Amino acid sequence: RYRCKGCRRTFNAVTKTPLAGLRMKDKWPAQAEAMIDGVSIAKAAKRCDVDYTTAFRWRHRFLASLAGDKPAALSGIVEGDETFILESFKGKRSGLPRKARKRGGKSAKRGISAEQIPVLVARDRHGATTDAVLPKLNRVSITAALGGIVTSANEFCCDSGTAIVAFARRAGIPTHILPMPGKPNSKAPDFHINNVNAFHSRLKEWLRPFHGVATKNLPNYLGWRRILEALGQTVMPDDFIFGAIGFGPYQ
């Protein structure tokens, strides 16, 4: 512990961080390993030899800081696109606006509907990634998510979506509107959105074993996936612990 010379109060390395007050520090590396492996709450509880509710609380304490660990700016060519994730009230026992689903379930309607939550992802060619759960798929929401992160210094690649194009044009960002992912135009091979769409695919495949993620917790899971993408095969349990106290890969 340390003592502040000004106020004389003591503190330690996790004071006023999401890990403050959590006990059994010797089991934190095992919890971090479980998160690297992406195992369920039940399996994480078994690995750490803690109760199921403790494993759930630890997961979201570890993710609280990582949810906001995003790059301050993206560089060079940036790809931006939205994907949609089924709305979920997982964990809520009463007051549901619809009939409960089992193990994730399916939407009542095909295609995009009010049940699908828009998630915006922007990614540069160096792998730096930012994302946001949008309250609405409109220019205002996209500006709140990408304003100052994607700027006129970038070359912005996106599809022909009305909201994302309006954001780019209002911000004066050089924009390349692409009709669909796929083979780049031979005249401009560097401009495409294949990387961001590949990220969408990896994200959804990674989320699949969780059988639905509560929409209120979705930013935490995006932060979780972001650290795995940022560190790749080099990720270690210490990386998750440092990320949990505010020293993530982008901080």
Three-class secondary structure of residue 107 per DSSP: coil
Whether 191 shows a pLDDT value over 80: the answer reads yes
Please name the residue that has the structure tokens 């409960």: 100
Lowest mean pLDDT among 103-112, 115-124, 134-143, 188-197: 103-112
At 60, the pLDDT band (50, 70, 90 cuts) reads very high
The per-residue pLDDT for 181 is: 65
Q: Mean pLDDT of all residues in the chain?
A: 91
**Whether 36 contacts 237, CB under 8 Å:** yes
pLDDT by residue (tens digit) across 73-131? 999 999 999 999 999 888 777 777 777 777 667 766 665 667 899 999 999 999 999 99
CA–CA distance, 241 with 228 (Å, rounded to integer): 13
What average pLDDT does range 8-19 have in this prediction?
93
For residue 129, count CB atoms less than 10 angstroms from its CB and return exposed for 0-12, middle for 13-18, buried for 19 or more. buried
- The tokens of 112 are what? 């995009």
**Whether 219 contacts 133, CB under 8 Å:** yes
Please name the residue that has the structure tokens 């780019």: 168
Lowest mean pLDDT among 39-43, 106-110, 214-218: 106-110
CA–CA distance, 141 with 162 (Å, rounded to integer): 13
- The tokens of 126 are what? 């160096």
